[in-house]
Amino acid sequence: MAILQSNAGAGAQSVVLRLEGVCKTFGTRQVLTNLHLSLTAGTVYGLLGPNGAGKTTTINIICNLLKPDRGQVWLDNSPLSHHSKNCIGVAPQQNLLYPSLTCREHLCFFGQLYGLRGKQLRERVKTCLELVDLTDRADSPAETLSGGMQRRLSIAVALIHQPKLVILDEPTTGLDLEARYQMWSVIRHLQERGTTLLISSHFLDEIERLCQRIGILQQGKLIAEGTLPELRQHIPAQEIVTIQSPVEAAVLDRAHALGLVTRRYGQHLALWIPELWELKQILEYFEGIPIDAITRQPVTLEHIYLELTQQPAIQTLG
């Protein structure tokens, strides 16, 4: 039996959510500026940005908890209205669960709020428990569940009414590694079934693993948006090479002589390599300079994010 009805098919590329020129000001502070954003059906979209970038305000506007000062939000080809709640499921950062209610009771309660009754409600409860792998804990009170199980229950609550758009705000915050993997498995299963998801997270590896498209907010503006390969165009390098040396200044001088872009990520000096070099070739280029360690890695979302949001802070001198 299929666990969740797929949204894939003829309408798989239809636009589920569209923000057009959305602006929001609190007092004298401009929180969102001319924000344009769209999610096609079946897409997992990652929304990134430092604290204060406007992520929470964007989510609140999509959920119709805040009104934009200017601009328009469209959900399933209709302007956002009080009826839109039936099209959106939200799992907030903090689990909003009732400690003494069981998993089944939670789903029945929220299902009834959305108008589900009788056989339809029972089938949806069963389906959602299966989806988040909580069938064996259906009659356990929420207060007896682990943190990871509570997050999965929150997602089940968000799915009970079969929304067209599911919003997950920091879905793995506070979870241990095993619980994070379990949560990723749930999200991947939703993706495979064609669910449209908007994920806000500070974990860049999470967004990189799970999302087909990524948007980066900075001071209320969408400064970059696209697939990971498209975002990699912001860093003209094939790989990032980190060199540890007791004479770092000499490494910097040699790198600049070679025409390489240098960055500092934390305590590490990194070089942007425009093409893939063999280790022997790297050693030849830095011959005569004592080197303690060399680390090579592809361009990741972390590099892209830092370059776009904190570029002055990660520049090296010289």
Phi and psi torsions of 228, nearest 5°? -60, -45
pLDDT digits 0-9 by tens, 21-32: 999 999 999 999
Per-residue pLDDT, 266: 85
Reported pTM: 0.88
Give yes or no for residue 12 having a pLDDT over 90: no
Give yes or no for residue 314 having a pLDDT over 90: no
Residues across the chain = 318
Collect all residues with Cβ–Cβ distance below 8 Å to 226 and sequence separation of at least 6.
213, 214
Give yes or no for residue 318 having a pLDDT over 60: no
pLDDT digits 0-9 by tens, 49-70: 999 999 999 999 999 999 999 9
Per-residue pLDDT, 124: 97
Per-residue pLDDT, 3: 39
Domains of the chain, each with CATH number or no CATH: 15-232 (3.40.50.300), 236-298 (3.30.70)
Distance (Å, whole) CA 196 – CA 308: 26
pLDDT digits 0-9 by tens, 130-178: 999 999 999 999 999 999 999 999 999 999 999 999 999 999 988 999 9
Average pLDDT of the chain, as a whole number: 91
CA dihedral sign of residues 253, 257, 258, 261: positive
Give yes or no for residue 315 having a pLDDT over 70: no
Q: Which residues pair with 46 in a beta bridge?
A: 199, 214
Strands 293-297 and 239-244: antiparallel
pLDDT digits 0-9 by tens, 255-313: 999 999 999 988 889 999 999 999 999 999 999 999 999 999 999 999 999 999 986 44
Distance (Å, whole) CA 139 – CA 125: 12
Distance (Å, whole) CA 111 – CA 160: 6
First to last CA, the chain: 63
pLDDT digits 0-9 by tens, 171-204: 998 899 999 999 999 999 999 998 999 999 999 9
Per-residue pLDDT, 84: 86
Per-residue pLDDT, 311: 60
pLDDT digits 0-9 by tens, 78-131: 999 888 889 999 999 999 999 999 999 999 999 999 999 999 999 999 999 999
Distance (Å, whole) CA 33 – CA 12: 30
